[in-house]
Amino acid sequence: MTTKNLKTNNLNRRDFIKAATIISGSSLLSACANFGLNKASQAPLGRVVIIGGGYAGTTAAKYIRMWSNGNIETVVIEKSSQFVSCPLSNLVLGGSKSINDLTFGYDLVKKNHGIKWVNDEVTAIDLSTKKITMKRGEITYDRLIIAPGIDFMYDKLPSLESTEAQQQVPHAWKAGWQTVNLRKQLEAMPDGGVFVMNVPKAPYRCPPGPYERACQVASYIKVSRPKSKVIVLDANAEIISKKGLFTKVFNEMYAGIIDYRPSNAVTDVEVASKTVITDFDKISADVLNIIPPQRAGKPAQMAGLNNIDKRWCEVDFLTYESKLAPNVHVIGDSVSAALPKSAHMATSQARVCASAIVELMQGKMPDSAPVFANTCYSYVNEKQAIHVANVYRYDEAKKIMVAADGGGVSSSPTDIEGDYAKAWAANIWSDVLT
Amino acid sequence: MKNDSFCFKDSCFKNWLLTLFFILVLTSVSFAITAKATEVLSSINTLSNTPHIRTLAASCAACHGTNGNAAAGNAVLAGMNANYFTTQMLAFKDGSRPATVMHHHAKGLNVDEINLLANYFSQQKRVANVAPTSQQLKANHDN
């Protein structure tokens, strides 16, 4: 072969590569224009669509891509363009974190794992034709994962239904501007003012969360509004998570600040006067924070999967497939389970579901005995934290996940657990978002 | 030649057979032990990559990063020596190594699971942990 021939061959090869790039580039472009996702998937094992880009949905997308070696096309539909972490958001109320410390983009996880991302809102789910309709397009799926988080049940507290009412009386139970709003109201509260908050009847998102919130508000009050207090109206008969630890913290660290009242369900709210009504009391607040009762997020309701008390979704704990709809899986806070609705739990469920889907789409059996861990930290002030940790194991007889022996809680709040809680956040954010 | 120099007496022959038998048994037992060890080792290698153990291992990611590649502050499990992993976990399990949280996990796991996790993490490639960059919350974020 002469030098000239070699050059020509190289040129030809280069031209060929260039042409191929143009072709694949243009098909990519057209795929972006109409998503190309209303047609059957070209991926070897098909397409999984995931509704919801929170802890559960994003984790499922990443691990399906990883464990299928990219052989399953994965599409996430998320209406927000940013991920705002609920874990650590109570620290925004205490003042040791800003909401911007907890806000992230999806760029890295999308790029690193080849996840297709649609920033849109689901308006309809047709299970019979396997089609999702959004405000700006349609998508078909081979398997669907619904990871919508929670929805508030305003039929129980109709006076809080409007956006205006929620500005006056924030829930701050989905992190974002609601959290910022509540912090601003706390900062504007006069010394001697009363902060009233509630704990909804379990199950709800993040069992220790309301008690952690009471501590964070109290830690701010203790330093900046020493004549003020926090009244906690708990719909439950007792503190339902880390009870011994929170009781001790309420009585010692925040003696005279936190006034904890069990079995005090909120029955109504007068928004204008920030007055809360319970079976026993009518309490006026300077700042009122009402966390409404919750149910599975709206997309789960659209698909009609919230069959337990019309609130939560019943699933098979080997696959997280809905008991009502084949090829449709539900993960995270929407699941009906004797498991805490925590971020770590959402990611653990997401990985079991992802692993099962990767096996099922290859015609294999999923793991018949999943085991996973859950660790949940709560900050009692700006630097000390406490934990609850358990291993959960599938019980073949009961067909549910059961806490293994050996789990438990901290002996007391410590600085070192505050550091571990920070490391937990750094690691789970890195795992979910990169 | 005396008979007793080369024993063909009935009882003597029996002893000889018995010895031969023992040699054979011992040899086969030692082969069996070696085979068993190889089998256990290969079953650990296989089981480490099953959906069961990859999912359990992945649930450690909340504190120890994807595939054990932790952010600063927590132990990096990726590429950790399997014996070291097992020894530490067993020490958490029996309380001989004090812990704030790890004893609550170690006690919930059985020894087989600890061995499989040790092997799984020892095979993971060590890569730098990447932190996502935090950003300003946009004005149009919906809550």
Reading the block at residue A349, the tokens are 């469920």
CB A94 within 8 A of CB A379: yes
Residue with tokens 């999923």: A366
Mean pLDDT of A86-100: 98
- Chain A segment 335-354 residues within 8 A of B by beta carbon are 343-344, 347-348, 351-352
Task: Count how many Cα atoms sit within 13 Å of the Cα of residue B78 in the half-sphere of its side chain.
Answer: 17
- Candidate from A103, A109, A427 with C-beta closest to B71: A427
Distance from CA of B41 to the nearest CA of A (A): 21
- Confirm or reject contact between A431 and chain B (CB < 8 A): yes
Length of chain A measured in residues: 434
- Confirm or reject contact between A80 and chain B (CB < 8 A): yes
Task: Count how many Cα atoms sit within 13 Å of the Cα of residue A279 in the half-sphere of its side chain.
Answer: 7
Q: Which residues of B touch A82 (CB under 8 A)?
A: 135, 137-138, 141
Distance CA A284, CA A276 (A): 6
Distance CA A143, CA A400 (A): 23
- Residue in chain A nearest B107 by alpha carbon: A406
**Alpha helix positions (H), A161-254:** 163-168, 177-188, 209-224, 243-251
Test A370 with B56 for CB contact under 8 angstroms.
yes
Test A430 with B71 for CB contact under 8 angstroms.
yes
Distance CA B125, CA A305 (A): 40
Question: Mean pLDDT lowest for which of A166-180, A288-302, A417-431, B11-25?
Answer: B11-25
Q: Which residues of A touch B121 (CB under 8 A)?
A: none
- Confirm or reject contact between A61 and chain B (CB < 8 A): no
Query: pLDDT tens digit string along A132-143?
Result: 999 999 999 999
Distance from CA of B34 to the nearest CA of A (A): 30
For chain B, residues with pLDDT lower than 50 are 1-9, 37, 40
Count contacts between A and B (CB, < 8 Å).
174
CB A392 within 8 A of CB B105: no
Query: pLDDT tens digit string along A50-69?
Result: 999 999 999 999 999 999 99
- Residue in chain B nearest A358 by alpha carbon: B51
Distance CA A174, CA A172 (A): 6
Distance CA A314, CA A331 (A): 10
Question: Mean pLDDT lowest for which of A204-218, A354-368, B26-40?
Answer: B26-40
Given this model, what pLDDT does residue A35 score?
55
How many CB atoms within 10 Å of residue A247?
A: 14
**Alpha helix positions (H), A34-121:** 55-67, 90-94, 107-113
Q: Which residues of A touch B55 (CB under 8 A)?
A: 351-352, 355, 367, 370-372
Query: pLDDT tens digit string along A379-392?
Result: 999 999 999 999 99
The answer to whether residue A375 scores a pLDDT higher than 80 is: yes
Q: Which residues of A touch B59 (CB under 8 A)?
A: 344, 347-348, 351, 372-374
CB A102 within 8 A of CB B139: no
Distance from CA of A403 to the nearest CA of B (A): 8
- Candidate from B52, B61, B105 with C-beta closest to A427: B61
Q: Which residues pair with B134 in a beta bridge?
A: A104
Given this model, what pLDDT does residue B32 score?
57
Given this model, what pLDDT does residue A115 score?
98
Q: How confident is the model at residue A162 (pLDDT cuts 50, 70, 90)?
A: very high
Q: Closest by alpha carbon to B58, among A358, A115, A410, A66?
A: A66
Distance from the first to the final alpha carbon of chain B: 108
Distance CA B105, CA A375 (A): 9
Query: pLDDT tens digit string along A289-333?
Result: 999 999 999 999 999 999 999 999 999 999 999 999 999 999 999
- What is the DSSP track for A90-112? HHHHHTSS-GGGGEE-SHHHHHH
Distance CA A189, CA A194 (A): 8
The answer to whether residue A402 scores a pLDDT higher than 70 is: yes
Predicted TM-score (pTM) of this structure: 0.87
Question: For all residues of chain A together, what is the average pLDDT?
Answer: 93
The answer to whether residue A250 scores a pLDDT higher than 80 is: yes
Given this model, what pLDDT does residue B72 score?
85
- Confirm or reject contact between A63 and chain B (CB < 8 A): yes
Q: How confident is the model at residue A38 (pLDDT cuts 50, 70, 90)?
A: confident
Mean pLDDT of A29-41: 61
Given this model, what pLDDT does residue B23 score?
62
Given this model, what pLDDT does residue B42 score?
52
